[in-house]
Structure formats: structure tokens, C-alpha cells
Structure 1
Amino acid sequence: MSQEIDFLAVVGKLSGLSLVESATTHPSQPANYRVTTILESLLEKVLIQEEWQAARQQAVREIHQVWWEENHNRTEAEGLEIVRLGLLAKEQEIAVSVGDRIGKNWVNNSRFLEALELCKQVLAVFQDYRILGTVSYAEEVLGFVQEAVIHYQQALDLCPEEELTTKATTLNNMARIIAQQGDVAKAIALWEESLELFEQIDYAKGKAATINNMARIIAQQGDVAKAIALWEESLKLFEQIDDAKGKAATINNMAQIIAQQGDVAKAIALWEQSLEIKEQIGDVKGTATTLNNMAQVIADQGDVAKAIALWEQSLEIIEQIGDVKSKAATLNNMALVIAQQGDIPKALSLWEQSLKISEQIGDVGGKATNLNNMAGVFANQGEISKAIMLWEQSLELFEQIGDPQGKASNLNNMARVIAQQGYISKALALWEQSLEIIEQIGDAQGKASTLNNMAGVFANQGEISKAIALWEQVVSTLAQISAYSDLVTVLSNLGLTDESNGLVYLAQAIWLTLRIQAPLVDTIQLISALYNKVPQSDELEAVLGATAMFLCNSRGEGHPQLEKLQEDSFKIILGAANAQGIETQEAFGNWFTQQRLNDPEYFLPRLNQRLEEIVGDGWLFDPSQVVGE
């Protein structure tokens, strides 16, 4: 039977020995006492163990009540002192609840190393499901992925039966990590278990968040239609419970996939919708994320100035809220685009900033991605040995955090550069290694990228039939995941490589550009390539020229190369006129009008008709499945 300790008697004994003194400054205030830590060893000799433990417990309860429960202006230092005393006094609920609150706050503010250390201190005394859940997220970012999975499992095992929300959320988080490691089947099973629990408690918000996560992975696997259907289900749930933040996040994810399909206008409209919601509810972190995503797609379209402006807007928000992890990711994205524009010193400066942040907060995945991107730029600059060194560092980090997708991407990039150096067999071995990983995790986009690079090497080696076979496989993969923007690029490669069937491939590529918002530079280059293959004096020449000029006018606003693209487009139509014997300006004007080249309602359908005639039965994808059909 436990002995009941008289706390006041203990205090009286200590006061009599002058080991404690009153900290009360006014008679009306409740009695408070303080004791310096240097007297702790002396107190242990004065008090028996039960008295000592009772004093600790009473002290931490009093402090918890005053500093935490009744205090609306809590400080971090006070919270940490409560945790320290709670651990000493073996007051589990106080130590864990306060420690978990601080740990979660640190994780949300990218203080992962501090969160990890705090959680370890608590776990050394108490194995509690809440702390295990918090430490797992910190471990995931810091690269301790296996430990994170183990701790999530321990959290599940210790979670009380009635805590269904916590169980379901933990399963959701575990599934996310396991999916990133490539075991998609197991991840889906965990998500389904999570959904079942959320349905039991009728927790629509948790269910919607889980469906959102599932959709992202399913889209990566190539089943875009199913992913979109899941996102729509998630949206419906968020709307039912009036969860604007969840709705905006889901719209953001949908927009990314729709942009990949080539419907950039629709994607941007969705992002703007997401932004509007986030601004209404004051979700500044979400606003920054959406601006970042929009900027990347706009940069891909060629409007780099607008993209940089959006990234700078995103960075301004990130600085305000102190989200250093997002800052590092945004700087990385900016650097990649700036490097592609040729400003290597500025890009490297941004990458150095990003790397420094990633190292400070222990973000292993962010550091690995940075090094991977930097290596590509050094390789393009001819500094091959430096690039390989960075890729090897990046590869080691991806392996450390169990990121097979990052590892496969790294191997793919290394192989491309090694092939350019002439070491074809070594490059092919790396690509085979990359493909093996990709097949295991079902990364359709990664598979297409790797096969495309391999095909390019075979084409350069003169093994045209081998290259064509691989590119046709890439087309099939990209069509499966509705990645129509990338599909245009591969069809273009085929069209320029295959002498016998080039017209058919180029016709399919241009047919796609009429339906998706492919980058304008690529589109005009494609039209020029088809123009050069069309028999001279064919009416298609003039139609191609008129289309090129039309696309410059309709899609080229703000494009830094617009003037050059317009000149190239005019040369096409001028060449078509010359082939018809048109030599004077007056004759050109009459011919232009007679051929209805000023009427897009005529020449666009006519171009479409001619392209479909050229392709005939040679489609490499199902045209009825394309956006806009």
C-alpha cells in the first residue's frame, strides 16, 4: 500500500533547514517555494525517497497548473522545464502531453533535430504512442526512415483501442513512407485500413486526407483516371464538412496532374482557385506551396520572368512564417530554372543557400535532391568529375533515407552523362539498375525518362531500330499515365530519327500540341520540322505557317523569345508562298486572304484533318483519351 506524503510537512522540514525559501511576494498569493538545483544532492540526504518523489510530483503538478494550464502566454522555456520535471517525477501525462505539444510545434517549424532529441528524452522514460508518432515524422525528414516505420508501428501497438482517430492517422502516415520506399501494395493496404477506421468514427476530414494521399501515389503509378476520381471524392468530403484548407490542398494536387496531362490552362485555373481559398482562410503556408507549383509549370512553358516573380512571392511568405524547409525547396526549384537560362553563378548561389538550410535542419531528402540537380549543371558545364562526385553523394543520401525513386533518378542522370563521355556499356548498366528499381516501385514517369535517355544513346550510336523500339515503348508508357507534354517530346524524337515514318510521328506530335499547352518553343520547332518534311508546294506548308503564327499570338504573351518565334513562323509561311510562285507583297496579301490563312476557324480544322490523314492507322496512343477530345 502506497504511503501518503504530507507535502506541507516536507516543506516545513526543508524550511527549517534553510534549504527552501518562500517565493511568494504578496500575502494574498498562493504559497510558492523555490530551491536551487545545487542543493539537490543535499536534499536527497535530508528526505527519504518517498518524500523526495512526492516533492517532485507536487512541484511539477503545481508548475504545470500555473505555467501551462492557467497560462495564456506560455513560453518554450517553461514548457521544457515542465517536461524535465515531469520526467524526473515520473509524471507521464504531464511530461508526454507537454513534450508532444512542443515536439509537434518544432516539427512544423522545421526544427527536426531538436524535436528528435526532445522525443528521445521522453521515450527514454516513457514509451508513449503520442511521442512515438511525433518522433517518426522528424526521423523521416532526417533520413532515419526505418526507425520512423518502426516507431509508427510501436505507436499503433501502444495506441489505446478507443483512440481510433490517432490509429487511423498513424496508419496514413506509415502508408505514405512505405509508398515512398516503393512498396505501393502494402501502402494501399494500410491506407484502406486507415479509411475503414475513419469511416467507423465518421471522421470525414481524416478520410478525405487519406484518399488525397492515395490518389497521389496512384497517379504516380499511372492510373490517372482513378487518381482524379479519388481526388474528386476527397473534394466532396471536404466540401461536406466545409474544410476549406483540405479542399484547397486537394485542388492543388489535382492541378499538378492536370498540368502533366498538358492542360496547363485548366491547371492554372485550379491553382488560382486553390490560392483564392487559401488567402480567404489565411493559410499562408499553403499559399506559398501553390505559388511554388504554379511557378514550375509556368517556367516549363517558357515564361521564366513570371515564374521567378511567383517564386519570389512564395519566398516572401515563407520568410514571414519561418518555414525554412519550404524555403530550401523553393530556392532549389528557382536555381534549376535559372541554370537552364544560363546564369550558372546565380543558380549555384541559390543552391548553396538551399544546401546550407537543408544541412542546418537535417533534411536529408532535400540535400540529396539539391546535389542531384547541381550535378546535372556541372555535367553540362563539362565538369564531369565534380558532377559524378555530387551524384555519388546524392545517391548515398537517397539510399540512407530509403528513397528508391530518388535513387533511380540519380542513376538515370549519371548514366546519361557517362554515355556522353563514351562509356556506353557502363551507362547502360546504370540504366538497367535504374529500370530495375523503377519496375519495383511502379514509377511510370521514371521508366519513361530512363528509356527515353537510353533510346537517345542508341540513336547517336546509329542503332536506329533499337532506339525507335525503345521510344515506342516510352510513348506507350506516357500515354498510359496521360503525360501528354512529355509524349510530344518523344514523338518529336521519333519523327526526327525515323526517316521512313517520321511524318507519321511528327503529325501525331503536332496533333497533340493543338490540344494541350505544350511549350511554345517546342511547338514551333515541331511545326518547322514537319514543314521541312512535307513535299514542296503542298497546301499543308501554308497551313502550318498560319498555325505557327496563330499559336505565337494566342500563347506567346510574355514569352521572352516571342519575337524570334514569330520570325521563324513567318519564314514558314513565306517559304510556302515562294513555293507557290508568290513573289510580290501585293500577291502575297491576295494569296494569304484567298487561302483563308487569316481565319483560324478554317486553317486549324484543315490542319487537324491533314494530320489525321497522315497518321492513318499509325497512332501510338489512343487519340480519343486525350484532353480536349
Structure 2
Amino acid sequence: TSPPAPLLSKERGARDEQRLWLEKLVSLSLVESATTHASQTAEYRVTTILESLLEPLLSEEEWQTTRQQAARKIYQVWWEESEEYREEQGLEIVRLGLLAGEEEIAVNAGHRIAVHWADSSRFLETFQFCEQLLQKFVDYRILGTIARAEQVLGRVEDAVAHYQQALELCPEADFKEKAVTLNNMAGVIAQQGDIPRAITLLEQSLEISERIGDISGKAASLSNMAQVIVQQGDIARAIALWQQSLETYERIGDVDGKAATLGNMARVIAQQGDISRAIALWQQSLEISERIGDVRGKAITLNNMALVIAQQGDIARAITLWQQSLEISERIGDVGCKATTLNNMARVIAQQGDIARAITLWQQDLEIKQRIGDVRGKAATLGNMARVIAQQGDIETAIALLEQSLEISERIGDVGGKAATLSNMAQVIAQQGDISRAIALWQQSLEISERIGDVGGKATTLANMASVAGETGDKARELDLNLQAASALAQIRAYGNLVRVLNNLGVADESNGLVYLAQAIWLTLRIQAPLADTIHIIRALYDAVPQGDELQALLGRTALFFCNCRGEGHLQLEEFQDLSVRMISSVAGAQGVETQEAFDTWLIQQRLNDPEYFLPQLTQRLEEMVGDGWLFDRSQVS
């Protein structure tokens, strides 16, 4: 029912009186109209002249009362009653809240702004803003947010201290924020290499989430724990944790969390060589991000997909995905995601030989990371640039860049980054011929990787050391180091990298090389290794077996099969197809097949037109060649 007429009349009269007062104040220039054509309602602001005029007339107590009233009213209208988040209004609320000493108002609005900035990679702004708030109010939420920024800015000790302080100040009732803080703190501790402590913090976070029934928090803890455990090489446990996380997100309908978890799983599954499954997971993540309007999540997923697709040889498609990711990042102002995309693009473009363009992209990447204060990302970019510059022969510049990268990693306590930089520096120094110094650096890198349980990093360093040992003629050491690298890669199921190491073993070991090449090809039948790696290994085994052997025909036909199934978009596809056909034709020629008609008949007779025949046949021959010499557990390979 409608209110009584007298009440309506009274309200209308009050509004008319307010309007008349506003018109009078505007005419006196004490209030300025801020109303625009786009405004839904009339907006006004008090001129700054008024403050200086009133200053001698009002006591400090009256000023403070005025500020408090202003802060509370603007908070009510712009924050509590508004459905739209506007950054400029939030900043004004924080300014008034700080002036008025209204802690809850300033912190509530300030925390939301700071989290939004941190999520958008505006780390320097986040740090400075939180510092300003903490000078007035020491709040656990602001402490947790400034720690996020400090981790990226390289102030790792400050980040850990602020996380610890946030935990101590967190109210008993706010279990959810405590669990989030433990999660974030674990990430910093893991970066410093203390994996057991990081897992302990994540277990505490998980326990809190389960106790208070925070299902979303539980799923996040499981996902973060999986990421840390991957570093230790326990892939099976990590995948199991991600599956739990996915099931939890699905149960509560948290599609945003589900999309992020799918992306994390996809990266590890791609490392195992199951590219098709990884792409399928990324596609699911993309579909979710598009459905819920998460454009930032979409940009990140496109970037990750592109890197794997580029490694498979489809450079054109990868560049297209990166361009999409860049367009999104620029549109939403996510400079952090843009910098990561530029770095990945530069790495691939450098591999294609366009060094000048790659360096230009890296310079853009560095400029962004310098601007936002992403020192850890800067160290990684410097390392990537250095490797390419060293390959161009400018060793002096490469060493200088690596020394900058190393200094940053040491300063921020990024032990994993330090180990990687030492390994890269050793490789460049080995190019100069200073093998003893290179080995000393590799040993330092190995010691760090073993201490923090970074099995993948250890394997990379061992493989690099093996390569140099082979170049200097120390075949026994080359074999031993490659075997150690293969063992480490098998442990973490990094089958794509394992294929390369097995190939190195096959080339280096004259007495047992066929066994290693056979294992490498056996893996390529089950994982989606890069096409170039696959064809080169097949050719190596083809050349090593007797001319005209049935195995040669199986190898040549399998090479062509891979070209047709996995070669779409590959820059060398025609070259690899031609090589495959020549391998098959050579076997046919050795058996007296000379005409095209006879060749077509021979293919049918040998059943080389039927993959359901020649692929199992090849598998059987490979397994017979390996016998008991397997370097990995075949039962773990999909």
C-alpha cells in the first residue's frame, strides 16, 4: 500500500529544501556541481576553498566530527548502498577514513582496492598504498595484501614477516582469512626452498578450511599443495590432489576455482607428454573463463596453451593465441600477464632465428617488469635473453645479464631461480672453454636443486653437464650424467624431456645405444613428443639397424604416420614427410620393389597401410630390443 499523503508531502518538502540549499551554495561557489550527462543522479562536491575559509572558525574537535560524518556518509552511499565498484570513489573513502580515524571504513575499502591492484599486477602501487594504510592502522588484512606485493617486489623477508604478523593479528573468528594467509605464506616459503615447511603451512590451512566448512578454501589449499608437491617430483600425488580440488570446486559450483585448477593440471600433464589431454583441459578452462566473463583467466590460459603448441612445432597457431592473450591483457590493463606473454613469445621467436624481434619483445617485457617491480620475473627474462645472446657469440653481454639475474635471485631468496641461473651461466662459460669453472657452477646448482627437492632442475643441470662432457671427449662421464638425468626425469614423469635424454644416450653409447633409442621411440608412441624430436630419433634408430630389416619399414611408416597425425601447422612438415617416404622407399628398394605399382602392392602386403598392425608390431620389436634395460616404469606411462 502507498504511504499516507502527508508523509509524501513531508518528504517532497525536505527534498525541495535540500535542492534550494544546494542551489544557493552553488551560486556562492561553496559547492561545485559534478553532474555529467552520464550521471544517473545529481552529484556535487565541496570546493577546496571552503576548508581554508573554515579552518580558523572550527575547533579541531569540530573538524574531526565533520570528517567522521563525511567519511561515514560517503561510505554508506558509495560503498554499502552501491552495487558498482568505482576505484576513484574507493580512494576518496580511504582518504576520508584516514583523516577521520575511521579504521573500519578505511581498511574495508582499502583492502578491496589493494587486492584488486595486486590481482592486476600493480604491485608497486599496492605496496605504497598498503604502507600508507599501515602507518595509520595495523590491520591483518592489509598486512596480508602488502606481503603479496612484497613477494613479487623481492622483499621476501618483509613478506614473510608481514604474513606472520597478519596471522598473529587475525581474529579468532576470521578463520577464512587465516587459511588464505597460510596459503599465501606457503608460496613464499616454497620459493625460498623450504618445501617441508611450505607443506606444513598448507596442511594447517587445509585443516582450518575443513573445520569451518570452507569448501572453496579447502579446494584452494589442495590445489596449492599439488603445485608444491610437483616440485618434489611426486606427480601421482599432485594429480590426485588436483582431482580432489576439482571435485570440491564442482560440488560447490565454484567455476572460477575449477578453471584455475584445470590450468595447473594441464601444465604438468603437458610436461608428461600427454599434449592432447593437456589441451583438452585448457579448452575446458577457456570455456569456463568465457562463460563467466573471466577475461584475465582466459588470457593466462591462452598464453600457457600457446607455449606448448609452439613446442609441438605449430608456431603460427601459437603466435595467434599469444596475440589474443596480449589483446586481452592490454584491454584490461593486466601488465603482468602481458609481460609473461611477451617473454614466452620472445623465446619461441628467438628459436625461429628472428633474434632482433625476440630482443625487442624481451625489452618490452623488462620495461613492464621494471615498472611494476616484478624482480623475480625480471631475473627470469634476463636469463632467457642471456642464453640467446650467448648463442649469437656475445659472451660478455650474456655473462653480464646472468650476473644481474643471479644478484636478483640471491637478494630475494629465490633459490630455485638461483640454481637455474647458475646452470645457465655454467653453460655460457663452458662455451668459452673454461670447463672447470663451468663444472663448479653446475655443482653449486645441483647442490641447491637437491637441497630444495627440485628434481626437474636437477635433471636439466645433469643433462647440460653431460653435453659438455661429451664435447670434451669424456664419454664415460657423459653416459653417467645422462643416466642420472634420465632417472630424475623418470621420477617426475617428465617424459618429453626424457625422450631427449634417451636420444642423447642412444647417440653417446656405442655398445648400448639401440636400447636407449628403442625406449625413446616407445615413449613417442604413447606421449606427444615434439614432431622434430620424434622424427630425428626414428631416423637415428633407422640408420643403426641393418639395411632392409623389417624394423626399418616399420620405423619409416611410423614416421609418416606421426607427420600426418601430429604435423598440422609444423614449419618442417613437408621436409619430415619427404624423409619418411624416402625411408620407406629405401626398404622397398632393398627388397627389389622398383615401380610405383609394385610399391603400392608391397605396402598392402606388408600391411603398412594399417596402423592397427604396424604400430603394435613396432612396439613389440622395440620391447624385444630393450629387454630388461628399461630406465623408467612403463606401467606409469599412459
Taking structure 2 as the reference length, the TM-score comes to: 0.90
Question: 1:540·1:610 contact (CA, 8 Å) conserved in 2?
Answer: yes
Q: How does 1:300-379 map to 2 (within 5 A)?
A: 300-379=311-390
Report the Cα distance in structure 1 between the residues aligned to 2:393 and 2:45, rounded to whole angstroms.
71
Question: 1:21·1:35 contact (CA, 8 Å) conserved in 2?
Answer: no
Report the Cα distance in structure 2 between the residues aligned to 1:356 and 1:257, rounded to whole angstroms.
30
Structure 2 counterpart of 1:13:
none
Structure 2 counterpart of 1:255:
266
Q: 1:563 to 1:22 in 2, by over 3 A?
A: closer
Report the Cα distance in structure 2 between the residues aligned to 1:189 and 1:37, rounded to whole angstroms.
57
Question: 2:30·2:49 contact (CA, 8 Å) conserved in 1?
Answer: no
Question: 2:506·2:514 contact (CA, 8 Å) conserved in 1?
Answer: yes
1:487 aligns with 2:505: no
Structure 2 counterpart of 1:209:
220
From 135, 140, 143, the counterpart of 1:132? 143
Structure 2 counterpart of 1:614:
625
From 175, 200, 205, the counterpart of 1:194? 205
Aligned residues: 603
Structure 1 counterpart of 2:238:
227
Report the Cα distance in structure 2 between the residues aligned to 1:245 and 1:155, rounded to whole angstroms.
26
Report the Cα distance in structure 1 between the residues aligned to 2:564 and 2:82, rounded to whole angstroms.
63
2:136 is paired with a residue whose SS is coil
Structure 2 counterpart of 1:546:
557
How big is the shift at 1:124? 1.0
Q: How does 1:22-37 map to 2 (within 5 A)?
A: 23=31, 36=49
Report the Cα distance in structure 2 between the residues aligned to 1:74 and 1:558, rounded to whole angstroms.
44
Question: 2:30·2:50 contact (CA, 8 Å) conserved in 1?
Answer: no
1:617 is paired with a residue whose SS is coil
1:388 aligns with 2:390: no
How big is the shift at 1:544? 1.2
1:124 is paired with a residue whose SS is helix
1:185 is paired with a residue whose SS is helix
Identity of aligned residues (%): 62
- Partner AA of 1:134 in structure 2: T
1:509 aligns with 2:520: yes
1:224-254 CA deviation, whole Å, 9 max, x = no partner? 1000100110011001101111111111111
How big is the shift at 1:82? 3.1
- Partner AA of 1:88 in structure 2: L
Report the Cα distance in structure 2 between the residues aligned to 1:201 and 1:569, rounded to whole angstroms.
61
Q: 1:143 to 1:471 in 2, by over 3 A?
A: same
- Partner AA of 1:230 in structure 2: L
Structure 2 counterpart of 1:424:
435
How big is the shift at 1:428? 0.4
Structure 1 counterpart of 2:52:
39
1:423-463 CA deviation, whole Å, 9 max, x = no partner? 10010011011111111211111110000000111111111
Structure 2 counterpart of 1:57:
68
Q: 1:62 to 1:280 in 2, by over 3 A?
A: closer
Q: 1:64 to 1:483 in 2, by over 3 A?
A: same
State which drifts further: 584-593 or 120-129: 584-593
Report the Cα distance in structure 1 between the residues aligned to 2:389 and 2:634, rounded to whole angstroms.
40
1:167 aligns with 2:178: yes
Q: 1:516 to 1:394 in 2, by over 3 A?
A: same
1:526 aligns with 2:537: yes
Question: 2:553·2:584 contact (CA, 8 Å) conserved in 1?
Answer: yes
State which drifts further: 361-370 or 183-192: 361-370
Question: 2:271·2:494 contact (CA, 8 Å) conserved in 1?
Answer: yes
1:247-301 CA deviation, whole Å, 9 max, x = no partner? 1111111111111111111111111111112211111111111111111111111
1:535 aligns with 2:546: yes
Q: 1:489 to 1:64 in 2, by over 3 A?
A: same
- Partner AA of 2:166 in structure 1: A
Report the Cα distance in structure 1 between the residues aligned to 2:526 and 2:73, rounded to whole angstroms.
69
Question: 2:295·2:328 contact (CA, 8 Å) conserved in 1?
Answer: yes
Report the Cα distance in structure 1 between the residues aligned to 2:519 and 2:262, rounded to whole angstroms.
31
From 101, 104, 113, the counterpart of 2:124? 113
How big is the shift at 1:202? 0.3
Report the Cα distance in structure 2 between the residues aligned to 1:233 and 1:74, rounded to whole angstroms.
34
Structure 1 counterpart of 2:102:
91
- Partner AA of 1:282 in structure 2: G
Question: 1:224·1:481 contact (CA, 8 Å) conserved in 2?
Answer: yes
Structure 2 counterpart of 1:555:
566
Report the Cα distance in structure 2 between the residues aligned to 1:552 and 1:255, rounded to whole angstroms.
24
Report the Cα distance in structure 2 between the residues aligned to 1:38 and 1:430, rounded to whole angstroms.
64
1:624 aligns with 2:626: no
Q: 1:244 to 1:65 in 2, by over 3 A?
A: closer
State which drifts further: 136-145 or 70-79: 70-79
Question: 1:511·1:608 contact (CA, 8 Å) conserved in 2?
Answer: yes
Report the Cα distance in structure 2 between the residues aligned to 1:588 and 1:32, rounded to whole angstroms.
88
Q: 1:116 to 1:31 in 2, by over 3 A?
A: closer
Question: 1:22·1:31 contact (CA, 8 Å) conserved in 2?
Answer: no
Question: 1:110·1:361 contact (CA, 8 Å) conserved in 2?
Answer: yes
- Partner AA of 2:204 in structure 1: E
How big is the shift at 1:194? 0.5
Report the Cα distance in structure 2 between the residues aligned to 1:288 and 1:577, rounded to whole angstroms.
50
Q: 1:245 to 1:80 in 2, by over 3 A?
A: closer
Question: 1:395·1:407 contact (CA, 8 Å) conserved in 2?
Answer: yes
Report the Cα distance in structure 1 between the residues aligned to 2:82 and 2:548, rounded to whole angstroms.
85
Q: 1:384 to 1:30 in 2, by over 3 A?
A: closer
- Partner AA of 1:130 in structure 2: R
Question: 2:315·2:569 contact (CA, 8 Å) conserved in 1?
Answer: no
How big is the shift at 1:218? 0.8
Q: 1:554 to 1:75 in 2, by over 3 A?
A: closer
State which drifts further: 31-40 or 279-288: 31-40
How big is the shift at 1:22? 6.4
Report the Cα distance in structure 2 between the residues aligned to 1:239 and 1:67, rounded to whole angstroms.
35
From 304, 308, 327, the counterpart of 1:293? 304
Structure 1 counterpart of 2:251:
240
Report the Cα distance in structure 2 between the residues aligned to 1:470 and 1:70, rounded to whole angstroms.
66
- Partner AA of 1:528 in structure 2: R
- Partner AA of 1:179 in structure 2: A
How big is the shift at 1:73? 6.0
Structure 2 counterpart of 1:567:
578
Structure 2 counterpart of 1:599:
610
How big is the shift at 1:400? 2.5
Structure 1, gaps ≥5 residues long = 1-19
Question: 2:495·2:523 contact (CA, 8 Å) conserved in 1?
Answer: yes
How big is the shift at 1:51? 4.1
How big is the shift at 1:57? 2.9
Report the Cα distance in structure 2 between the residues aligned to 1:578 and 1:226, rounded to whole angstroms.
51
1:80 aligns with 2:91: yes
Question: 1:110·1:325 contact (CA, 8 Å) conserved in 2?
Answer: yes
How big is the shift at 1:354? 1.1
- Partner AA of 2:181 in structure 1: T
Report the Cα distance in structure 2 between the residues aligned to 1:295 and 1:586, rounded to whole angstroms.
43
How big is the shift at 1:379? 0.7
Report the Cα distance in structure 1 between the residues aligned to 2:553 and 2:151, rounded to whole angstroms.
58
How big is the shift at 1:90? 2.1
From 267, 271, 286, the counterpart of 2:278? 267
1:346 is paired with a residue whose SS is helix
